[in-house]
A and B are shown apart, each in its own frame.
Chain A
Amino acid sequence: MFLSFLSFELRYFLRGWMVWIFLLVMSAMIFGAVSSDNITIGGGLGNTHRNAPWVIENFYGAASILTLLMTTAFVNNSAIRDFQYNTHQMIFSLPISKNGMFLGRFLGASLVAVIPSLGVSIGSLLGRFAPWADADRFGPVDWAAHFNSIITFAIPNTLFIAAILFGIAALFRSTTISFLSALLLLVAFGVTDSFASDLKNETLAALIDPFGSRAFDLTTKYWTVFERNTRSVGLTGLLLWNRLIWVTTAFAIFGLVLRRISLSERASKKTKPVEADVEKRSGSVALPSRRASWTGNVALAQFLGAFRFELRNLIKTPVFVIILSAAMLNCGASLILTSSEAFGNKTFPVTYRMAQIIQGTLYIFLIAIVTFFAGQLVWRDRDERTDEIQDSLPMRDWLLYTSKLSALLVSIFAILSTTIFVGIAVQAFKGYTRFQVGLYVEEILYRDFTLMIFLAVAAFFFHVISPNKYIGYFAFIGFLLFDALGWAAFDVSTRMVNFASRPSIAYSDFYHFAPDSPGFEWFTAYWALFCCLIAIASIAFYRRGKETAWARRSRVAGQRFQGGLRLATFLAAFAFLATGAWVFYNTKILNTLISPKEQKQRRADYENTYKKYENISQPRITAVEYQIDIFPEKRGVEMRAKQKIRNESTQPISEVHFTVDVQHDTDIRIDGATLASDDKRLYYRIYKLAQPLQPNEERTMAFTVKGEQHGFSNVVERTQFVQNGTFFNNQIAPQIGYQAGGEMTDRNDRRKYGLKEKDLMPALERNCVEHCRNTYLSDSSDWVSVDTVISTSADQMAVAPGSLLKEWNENGRNYYHYKLDKDSMNFYSFMSARYDVVREKWNGIDIEIYLHPEHRWNVPRMIQSVKNSLTYYTKNFGPYYHKQARIIEFPRIATFAQAFPGTMPYSESIGFIADLRDPENIDHVFYIVAHEMGHQWWAHQVVGANMQGATVLSETQAQYSALMVMEKEYGRDLMRKFLEFEADRYLRSRGAERLKERPLEKVEASQGYIHYQKGSLVMYYLKEMIGEDKVNAALHQLIDKFAYAPPPYPTSYELVDRLRAQTPPEYQYLIKDLFEDITLFSNRATNVTARKLADGKYEVTVEADIQKLKADAQGNEVEVPVKDWIEVGAFAKPEKGKKFGKTLYRERLLVDTRHITKTFTVAELPEKAGIDPFHLLVDRTPDDNTRKIDLK
């Protein structure tokens, strides 16, 4: 019985087209993802092979979500086929066993449902044969990975989904309910997703993810490129548990359902049959003979009535209610829960973040609602067979279309309005009272709602012209996909063809939406008029009656196209063309629009044409005098400068080369020089000097850089220049010589454009002189004096580097004269905004915070951090040479803080909005300020030569400096928490390395995870081992020798050697492990016991395994013998609300075996003990270092 049902099911589906279409779709998607960079599923791959075992397993995991709906289609069909085709009475009257039938069908459908996911294997096996695929990025085929993926993902996930949905389908016998349940499963997946972002819940999140992807992520999160390329995970560990849990759950549900369902016919419960008393009053009432008067505004009244009717119908639909509940649940929960910024910290629920959360969590549902209900609404009358009655009623032809569209849009509008209320309520609940209702309205109800209108009009249009609902859905979704992805494939970047797209900029409290505003509005008008036209077409072709043939419908459309509709068409068409012409004029003529391909081509050409000049002798800048006028209202700037250039080489220089700014007009004047070459496409100029610049000769050159916004552009450009919050640096000035920074860095792009592989930085060398003439930040200057007169509009304040010498008002503009107190790096910013300034003093140094008047929350923390930093750094490293330390807030265009000489621009969206009220959290405002203050020594006094390891002298030391200031302020426990985050980020980032993981002393400037995260871990560990004073002594020596010193600049060896000199003999191995090698540990407490002694103390025994590993650049790790000093320790139970308990014991042991046993005595009841309890070492699995104590 069972077998015959099973084989029938298999044959039934395998003969059909559905399974093969799904397999084809899946194979094609994976084929695309594997062979091309333009299609991505999951995150970036870096150096990982495109067909690496890890990638295959990831794809299989992701595919489970994609195949969910496919599986639903199979099992739903199996479970309710008999009811759909009305064969149930026939089948169920046969002598069959219920269990045999359901199990047979279920297994048959499930097995077939596994087939589409095999497309992952097909796609990834074929991917390398794509003509555009890059053979270098493929490794050997790893069959084990395919096998493992199938048994860990494809089969269990399909069984899980199938069991649940088969059960639901068999119970409810409704396709709609089946698919809705599938959608709910997807939502449930999304909810576990938000849990997983919190570090503490990782294991739990891995177990509660029904598809196992998260368990896989957790298992492999610290995998290196090498491991990703060679290893695959089968049914083991966390993944096994996850699979067991979910497959068991699914079968339990299936079993329960099986017991509940019966084969008997069921009365429809949906609507109760009603019977009227037929004979009562029959004939006693006269037939009403009233006729409609057709007076007044009948059309309007009919429209309002029909609209109400449609709206009521729509919001009563169960599907609508269910999607909406899921959406509101998702959005509401996120509004309440999402608050983390960096290091698990909270931010204030500022309005733009609430809007962001609403967009991120709600809009996918809204698009689903628009997509689904556009089809439902257009086709409902025909689906429910009310069309014949309705269509013969004397209503206007536009009535059905407009009332349905309005019903959909009004419901969307109501949902959006509701989320605004929820957002405001959440803000109030969190004690945040700066409600920006206007911003909510503008962002959500204008900017986003108009997009929904555009989408809805398009969706309706596709359904109106489609012969049936399914083609309508298919066409609309296809259109959306093409609109989102397709244009890039044709290298078309103008928004004029990219439906509903508009140039936009993220809101900032500084400028609201001002920088995008003319463009955004004109594009909105453009698309609105376009939508008017397709709406008119939809009305003309809206199906009324039974006619399906296009010729007939066109004739009807012609009849409708009269009077008002015709007039509206001409007006809309005219306005659309006029707007289009205006948009075209602004985006293509007033502004240039360069396609992404052309942009890359230019970078390639720049390199090919001018790289030959990279090493020619060029003069160096020694002093600059600026006169800068900022025109915020027209987003304009005019920078006039005189700069001294000097020949510091030994040869005369007869040509000066410049790379000029792309977005500004540059005029360069050098006495006696002629413009020999001016490449307007690649922005490269060569000036010939009539009188060559002799060695050590200095001359003055002048330049003017000018620009302002003309009209509006296709994308919002020049975002440094805004109506309020201008923030630009001196790199808009002409840069002397070839700029290697303009080269393409992506390996694949480089190969595609025929460029040879780029070694990011020159190799580290000892005793270097010639190669150390430049810092890694500049190749055309050393220490430069800067004098600036800067002006801005009367309502704004402008800031330039150095002390403010004079301030005046002239021609209704504010003028400021700044001068650097100490020659610095030629790298600084200029800013202008309507600032509030908070001033304090520390030992004669002005501490100034320039900020948006409404962002005062964390100013005291910032000032405190500046003071503490100045105190610590001047005491331990050396003097501070500027007379001021400024923190200057800039708009949300970017999210970073940066250090320039004496000034630290700091983004509106970090720090300024951090919620620091919980003292258990890491005060990252304090941290970031301390880091940037650290740069005043590390980068702006001592700066590395342009070679590997340069950033160890700047970023790593700024990290170390900040750690010390933080530890003094907040204590050790918070440092532990901070370093846990650093370790996590370091270990995770290794796997995504695109090039080679370098040891710390050879870090590339682009390897942030090494110079920041690993740098923190290394420096803190070294400080723990050899002591803070020793580390600081080495750093002080470095400052003494290299602060503001002329070239050659120091390399990382200068630091490492000094640290080595400070390190006692027994710890010498550390220098090699930490700086020269990539060293990791995998330490684990295996058994931890304690027993109470007679005197009330406790004897603790810790057994632990120690594993020391060295990794190569690809992450290939080999175990090495251990001979290291490692701590053991024990902690008491943490107090309520605290993360860490009191340290009861801490001892450093010389460990030279793979397994140790250590016994010690503690005074109080211990809770946890273990090896390396403070996570000082870089440990691949830090969680198992300590264990709960077994009290004997």
Chain B
Amino acid sequence: MELVIRGLSKTYPNGVRALDDVDLNIPRGMFGLLGPNGAGKSTLMRTIATLQEPDSGEVLLGSLNVLTQKDEVRRRLGYLPQDFGVYPRISARGMLDHIALLKGFTKSGERKDVVDAMLQRVNLWDVRKKALSGFSGGMRQRFGIAQALIGSPELLIVDEPTAGLDPGERNRFYNLLSEIGENVIVILSTHIVEDVMDLCTSMAIINKGKVLFSGAPEQAIETLAGRIWQRTVTKAELLDIEQRHRVISHKLIAGRPLVHVYSDADPGDGFIAAHPNLEDVFFARIAGTGLSAEAGN
């Protein structure tokens, strides 16, 4: 099974072009959707999760049309939104039970087994009777993945799941995701580059509603081989460097800016060759640094 997106476009009433003719093929396995804030990731994911109607285009999950056969798709879907709330005065188990029911577990014994096992799996068993509204960010996110995983979805969508989590929680979260196996389509949206590098077998970068790259992470890095150069500069030099080179990123290392520039040949000025990483790809792509022509699928 494969998720196929063809020509998906969406413009909001306020004029924001959230999706602009998006084409993607998403195979089984972990798929990373990388993009800066406001790139259209959430719109894309919500559209796949049947929560939003595109202006044009189609989304197919295997033989199912996501836009019209919503109920069929929802039966196969697990969705963890980027930002979700919980009802006051309800326990983790109560809420999970409710969701399990709506996911089709109508027999109470069966439902109880599933819910209890899930609570144990995500380590919320001890607090199952506690009010969800008192959960910490990590616990809440574990609850979120628990509800998404109930009913063994064939399509799992997780939207920026690790925002606000400490490194420990983040690792545990990804361990859980990676456990789901190869037989499921997992779409993970994030703006954290390492997450994709660590987890995903394929990925796409989108910005301003457009797909800038799609393919394997290694393939993305390969496209930059020998074209990324770096140098530590002073703050005073920065402006000058930015004018003379195609700077794709600069970040502070021990208080001094480390500049990455894109150049097909040695740019001089004391720059040395750097090993490109996915972050460079990301910045290079969204900066539109002469690569759009090469960005193939």
A interface residues, Cβ below 8 angstroms from B:
270-283, 285-294, 296-298, 301-302, 305-306, 309, 313, 316-317, 380, 384-386, 388-396, 399, 544-549, 552, 555-556, 559
How far is A276 from B107 in the complex, measured between Cα atoms in Å?
29
How far is A385 from B81 in the complex, measured between Cα atoms in Å?
10
- In the assembled complex, 20 residue pairs joining A and B whose CB atoms fall closer than 8 Å, in A order, are A271-B131, A272-B131, A273-B134, A274-B134, A276-B139, A288-B114, A290-B114, A291-B151, A298-B104, A302-B104, A306-B102, A386-B85, A386-B87, A388-B46, A389-B81, A389-B144, A391-B51, A393-B103, A394-B74, A547-B51
Count residues on chain B whose CB falls below 8 Å from chain A CBs.
67
Best-surrounded residue of B53, B89, B106, B150 (most CB of chain A within 10 A): B106
- Tell me which of B121-129, B196-204, B212-220, B259-267 binds A: B121-129
How far is A396 from B51 in the complex, measured between Cα atoms in Å?
14
Q: Is the CB of B175 within 8 A of A283?
A: yes
Q: Closest CB-CB distance, A925 to chain B, in whole Å?
A: 55
Q: Is the CB of B53 within 8 A of A547?
A: yes
Q: Is the CB of A559 within 8 A of B68?
A: yes
How far is A291 from B13 in the complex, measured between Cα atoms in Å?
39
How far is A389 from B51 in the complex, measured between Cα atoms in Å?
10
Mask, B143-176, CB within 8 Å of A = 1, is 0100111111000000000000000110010011
Residue B269 interfacial (CB < 8 Å): no
Residues 162-198 (chain B) with a chain A CB within 8 angstroms: 168-169, 172, 175-176, 179-180
Q: Is the CB of B75 within 8 A of A278?
A: no
Q: Is the CB of B52 within 8 A of A546?
A: yes
Residues of A within 8 A of B90 (CB): 313
Residues of A within 8 A of B176 (CB): 287
Residues of B within 8 A of A301 (CB): 101, 106
Q: Give which listed residue, B87, B89, B114, B172, contacts A282 with CB less than 8 A.
A: B172
Residues of A within 8 A of B81 (CB): 388-389
How far is A109 from B89 in the complex, measured between Cα atoms in Å?
34
Q: Is the CB of B121 within 8 A of A389?
A: no
Closest to B99 in A: A393
Residues of B within 8 A of A272 (CB): 130-131, 134
Closest to B134 in A: A271
Q: Closest CB-CB distance, B180 to chain A, in whole Å?
A: 7
Q: Is the CB of B123 within 8 A of A286?
A: no
Q: Give which listed residue, B74, B77, B89, contacts A316 with CB less than 8 A.
A: B89
Residue B63 interfacial (CB < 8 Å): no
Q: Is the CB of A285 within 8 A of B121?
A: yes
How far is A288 from B148 in the complex, measured between Cα atoms in Å?
12
From known contacts A388-B46, A545-B51, infer whether A271 and B133 are also in contact, taking CB-CB under 8 Å. Answer: yes
Residues of B within 8 A of A288 (CB): 113-114, 117-118, 121, 150, 152
Best-surrounded residue of B70, B107, B149 (most CB of chain A within 10 A): B70
Residues 252-289 (chain B) with a chain A CB within 8 angstroms: none
From known contacts A392-B51, A556-B53, infer whether A292 and B75 are also in contact, taking CB-CB under 8 Å. Answer: yes
Closest to A271 in B: B134
Q: Is the CB of A292 within 8 A of B151?
A: yes
Q: Is the CB of A270 within 8 A of B121?
A: no
Q: Is the CB of B75 within 8 A of A289?
A: no
How far is A306 from B101 in the complex, measured between Cα atoms in Å?
8
How far is A301 from B130 in the complex, measured between Cα atoms in Å?
26
How far is A545 from B123 in the complex, measured between Cα atoms in Å?
30
Q: Give which listed residue, A380, A394, A549, contacts B103 with CB less than 8 A.
A: A394
Residues 47-66 (chain B) with a chain A CB within 8 angstroms: 49-53
Q: Is the CB of B152 within 8 A of A289?
A: yes
Residue B86 interfacial (CB < 8 Å): yes
Q: Give which listed residue, A282, A296, A393, A555, contacts B53 with CB less than 8 A.
A: A555
Q: Is the CB of A281 within 8 A of B104?
A: no
Q: Is the CB of B152 within 8 A of A392?
A: no
Residue B88 interfacial (CB < 8 Å): yes
Q: Closest CB-CB distance, A561 to chain B, in whole Å?
A: 13
Residues of B within 8 A of A286 (CB): 117, 121
Q: Is the CB of A287 within 8 A of B151?
A: no
How far is A274 from B70 in the complex, measured between Cα atoms in Å?
37
Residues of A within 8 A of B147 (CB): 389
Q: Closest CB-CB distance, A536 to chain B, in whole Å?
A: 19
Residues of B within 8 A of A556 (CB): 53
Q: Is the CB of A386 within 8 A of B139?
A: no
Residue B229 interfacial (CB < 8 Å): no
Q: Is the CB of B50 within 8 A of A545?
A: yes
How far is A277 from B172 in the complex, measured between Cα atoms in Å?
13
Residues of A within 8 A of B150 (CB): 288
Q: Closest CB-CB distance, B215 to chain A, in whole Å?
A: 28
Closest to B117 in A: A288
Residue B237 interfacial (CB < 8 Å): no
Q: Give which listed residue, A273, A287, A394, contacts B75 with CB less than 8 A.
A: A394
Q: Is the CB of A547 within 8 A of B52?
A: yes
Closest to B83 in A: A385
How far is A159 from B253 in the complex, measured between Cα atoms in Å?
60
Q: Is the CB of B134 within 8 A of A291?
A: no
Q: Closest CB-CB distance, A720 to chain B, in whole Å?
A: 57
Q: Give which listed residue, A302, A317, A389, contacts B79 with CB less than 8 A.
A: A389
Residue B292 interfacial (CB < 8 Å): no
How far is A436 from B85 in the complex, measured between Cα atoms in Å?
49
Residues of B within 8 A of A394 (CB): 71, 74-75, 77, 102-104
From known contacts A283-B175, A288-B117, infer whether A392 and B79 are also in contact, taking CB-CB under 8 Å. Answer: yes
Q: Is the CB of A296 within 8 A of B123?
A: no
The 8 closest A-B pairs by CB, nearest first: A292-B104, A385-B85, A545-B51, A301-B106, A394-B74, A271-B134, A388-B81, A288-B117
How far is A393 from B147 in the complex, measured between Cα atoms in Å?
10
Residues of A within 8 A of B180 (CB): 287
Q: Is the CB of A296 within 8 A of B74?
A: no
Q: Is the CB of A271 within 8 A of B101?
A: no
Q: Give which listed residue, B71, B136, B172, contacts A273 with CB less than 8 A.
A: B136
Q: Is the CB of A280 within 8 A of B123?
A: yes
Best-surrounded residue of A272, A273, A288 (most CB of chain B within 10 A): A288
From known contacts A273-B134, A302-B101, A559-B68, infer whether A290 and B113 are also in contact, taking CB-CB under 8 Å. Answer: yes
Residues of A within 8 A of B49 (CB): 388, 392
How far is A281 from B81 in the complex, measured between Cα atoms in Å?
26
Residues of B within 8 A of A297 (CB): 106
Closest to A292 in B: B104
Q: Give which listed residue, B84, B88, B99, B179, contacts A287 with CB less than 8 A.
A: B179
From known contacts A274-B127, A276-B126, A545-B50, infer whether A290 and B110 are also in contact, taking CB-CB under 8 Å. Answer: yes
How far is A380 from B88 in the complex, measured between Cα atoms in Å?
11
Q: Is the CB of B85 within 8 A of A291?
A: no
Beyond the given A287-B121, A290-B114, please list 4 additional residue pairs across the A-B interface where CB-CB is below 8 A: A272-B130, A278-B168, A298-B104, A384-B86
Residues of A within 8 A of B46 (CB): 388, 545-546
How far is A285 from B119 in the complex, measured between Cα atoms in Å?
10
Closest to A274 in B: B130
Q: Is the CB of A292 within 8 A of B52?
A: no
Residue B251 interfacial (CB < 8 Å): no
Residues of B within 8 A of A275 (CB): 127, 136, 139
Q: Give which listed residue, B50, B110, B133, contacts A270 with CB less than 8 A.
A: B133
From known contacts A277-B126, A290-B152, A306-B102, infer whether A549 and B51 are also in contact, taking CB-CB under 8 Å. Answer: no
Residues of A within 8 A of B136 (CB): 273-275
Residues of A within 8 A of B124 (CB): 276
Q: Is the CB of A292 within 8 A of B103?
A: yes
Q: Give which listed residue, B79, B117, B133, B151, contacts A285 with CB less than 8 A.
A: B117
Q: Give which listed residue, A271, A298, A399, contacts B88 with CB less than 8 A.
A: A271
Residues of B within 8 A of A293 (CB): 104
How far is A272 from B129 in the complex, measured between Cα atoms in Å?
12
Residues of B within 8 A of A390 (CB): 99, 102
Residue B226 interfacial (CB < 8 Å): no
Residues of A within 8 A of B123 (CB): 276-282
Residues of B within 8 A of A384 (CB): 85-88
Residue B138 interfacial (CB < 8 Å): yes
Closest to A287 in B: B121
Residues of B within 8 A of A289 (CB): 152
Residues of B within 8 A of A388 (CB): 46, 49, 51, 79, 81, 84
